A and B are shown apart, each in its own frame.
Chain A
Amino acid sequence: MKTFTRLALMLAATTALTTGAMAEGRTFKVWWYEPADSALGIAWDAALAKFKEAHPDVEVQFELKTFDQINQAGSLILNSSDAPDLMEYNKGNGTAGLVASQGLLAPLDEAYAQYGWDATLNEAALQLGRYDENGVFGSGPLYGIPNYGEFVSVFYNTDMLAAAGLSVPTTLAEFEAVMDAFVAQGVVPIAEAANDYPAQHLMYLLALSQATPEWVADFQGLKAELDPAPFLYAGQKLQEWVEKGYLSKDATGMKADDMAAQFTSGASPFVVTGTWYGANFGGIEGFTASQFLFPGNHLSAGSTGNIWVVPNGADNKDLAYEFISLTLSQDVQNLMGNSGGVPIAADPAQITDRIGSLETELFNQLVAQGGLGFYPDWPVPGFYNEVLQATQAVIGGTATPEEFAQRLKDAYDDGMSM
């Protein structure tokens, strides 16, 4: 028995020694998947540099992952011993919600108060960070911390509008009048891609023009069977817009890249897409691009961005929390805005980049008016493909607006029951 105790003591001492040694040479593993030259990549790189400065004794292992990998294998990696201390993860029920409900993420409520994140973020910004026991967002413990925002708006070619003597529309009717003017010149006003995600964002903006915040809450929260009226309206508008030539039927064969090229080459004066294109459009040669919120809409497609999550098995949670604090710091957030991104907690006065400051201002405006309507494909897993195909069909003329709305309703109601 005595031998056994001694053995145990020795073992304990060795463990203590090794952990002591490890504490000195700690490694901090952090992953994200924003391209290095994107606004987010630039900002987070700067945060990482600060982190290294503050912790010269910590070995930092940063890996730039790919969206594909985290999207498809994120849950499997988090479910293994190879997970990092901190990683960027896709917000939403099918990703962060799923792993949170399986107990793979560390709850962050304590750290939220302790590290003072509550001073920069408010409860509204945390909606996509909270997941209940079923993995549905909106309530429950805090598992993810957002760092930036994103929303869909209209980018426009200021030179083309000026040359045509047109001004920025503020209502849907004005927008249609402006587009009529371009159609009369033989120009397709909106660059669009329906063989990819962009068309469903335009579709959703049109639906949101008819929607109440309650409808959005029900739709996004799977609260009731789908009331398809706003989608029916969106389908009708899309059909009408194609007929009037506001957007081309050709959109059904276009990818997001093709759409962007149609706008950046000056072929079309408008493109309805997300702030993720802000940095690209800010640097166009040949004309100046600017943006406005979808005219007449109180609600827009948009949300807080992807979230930081800390795997439950992470060895260095304290370092992860420190890094989150750094990314929320004023300097880093301002840098993000100045690189053409949409910071969540920047000082608008400090942002000098033209597109970045415009986006920050519009985002703050949307948040203030409770205008973030999220995205159409979120509520039901796999809804994305259904919405994509149905939108493509209504633009291509192979589905009527009624059929379009019915398809969405069928898929939604079916998804609710799964």
Chain B
Amino acid sequence: MSTFLRSRWGVLAGFAAGAVLLLVAAPAALSAFNLALLGKFICFAIVAVGIGLAWGRGGMLTLGQGVFFGLGAYIMAMHLKLADASLFGGSGVPDFMSLYGSGEVPGWWEPFRSPVVTLLAVVLVPGLVALVLGLAVFKRRVKGAYFAILSQALAAAFAVFLIGQQATTGGSNGLSGFRSFFGFDLKDPSNKMMLYSIAAVVLLLALAAARQLMRSRFGELLVAVRDQEERVRFLGYDPATIKTVTYVIAAVMAGIAGALFVPIVGIISPADVGVIPSIAFLIGVAIGGRATLLGPVLGALSVAIAQTSLASTFPSFWVYFQGLLFVLVIGFMPGGLASLPRLVSRLKQRRTEQPGGAAPASAPQVPGSAVPAPATAATTPTTVPEEASR
């Protein structure tokens, strides 16, 4: 079975199953409201695919993906506002600008009247920002916690900047009230269905791209950089280039996800792009298993679903639960839920090999973690009594 899953046909079958699940089964089973929710979660999952590459494979703790998500989202939102204003208002000036500002469209909004420029900018602007940032940071050998703090600070600064621009970005209210999407009426259920389908297809494409990258020579090199950055240098590679390329790919994925988020959810505000959402992106990835292909996606989806269902029942409780989950996973299961099958099989193996329960001293480690995996087995849900007592 596992060899089949690894073969070419197995992979194609897996993608086909994913496509059927997302594009046929989900629309058939879910109400329009829940389907839109799933569409929103899929946007988070696309961000998660990029984080899985950058953090899981590249070792870059990207605590500020909200910036790139926000760039893509605001670019799309500006276009939708301008298009709405021309279609419905006639004046060509978005409603909130007349309310809070001078009633004139600022010059830097103008390029986004064009659908082509908008679509290009959704990809290029996050990509270029990540390129400049990545070169500046990684060439100077900033890494580890310093990189994480820097990217987080950037997310905070970005949100503060947006809040300050009441007249041009809607301030803390953000941009909302979109009525059309490239000429399609956003109230029409079939257009909502189309938006959901686009998000699902983009997720599948992002997964395919991530898989190709992970299995390519570049992917092997990326793992090498994650584990032994200095050693890679002595082989004649510049790790900064490898890390920057990966960071750019993750940023582009986040930007596209942001652009899809806007028409699906209908609002983008600083609260969707700042520090807290940036961390939330990461939690799903950590829980799912950052170094795997599907772990980040499944983690992001399940955290988002859990948040929606739990937060409506116990609004104040969710944040604590999320924090606890994060601590538990990072502390005791650094490979995430994706490492669970491996942990279970190792546990079984150990029980059959050594009935006394004495653990082998030198067990292999979970990739990308500093914590020896066997010690974590005691805290997984599959705990057996004698293991738990250790």
A binds B: no
Which B residues contact A (CB, under 8 angstroms)?
Answer: none
